[in-house]
Amino acid sequence: MADVNADYWTIDDVAEHWGVTPQTIRTYRSRKRDELPPHDRMFGRSPAWRPQTIVGFVRPGQGARTDL
């Protein structure tokens, strides 16, 4: 389980928290359809999110269309 007391979460941490693969998180980012909140910080070329940003984010339901 991703550490909710960490300062930032990586793509791997977000994937672990949501129960998906890191590739799914990368896909969410690349599609830019609000399936993932904007990152809070960049470490080099790697995005990072505060845990509360991810925990508080309401994800679209599985199978929900996000392109409408």
The pLDDT assigned to 59 comes to 83
Alpha-carbon span 37 to 34, nearest angstrom:
6
> Do residues 14 and 21 make contact, with C-beta atoms less than 8 angstroms apart?
no
**pTM for the full model?**
0.84
Q: Is residue 60 scored above 90 in pLDDT?
A: no
The tens digit of pLDDT for each residue in 13-40 reads 999 999 999 999 999 999 988 899 999 9
> Do residues 49 and 29 make contact, with C-beta atoms less than 8 angstroms apart?
no
Alpha-carbon span 4 to 56, nearest angstrom:
12
Query: What percentage of the chain reaches a pLDDT higher than 70?
Result: 90
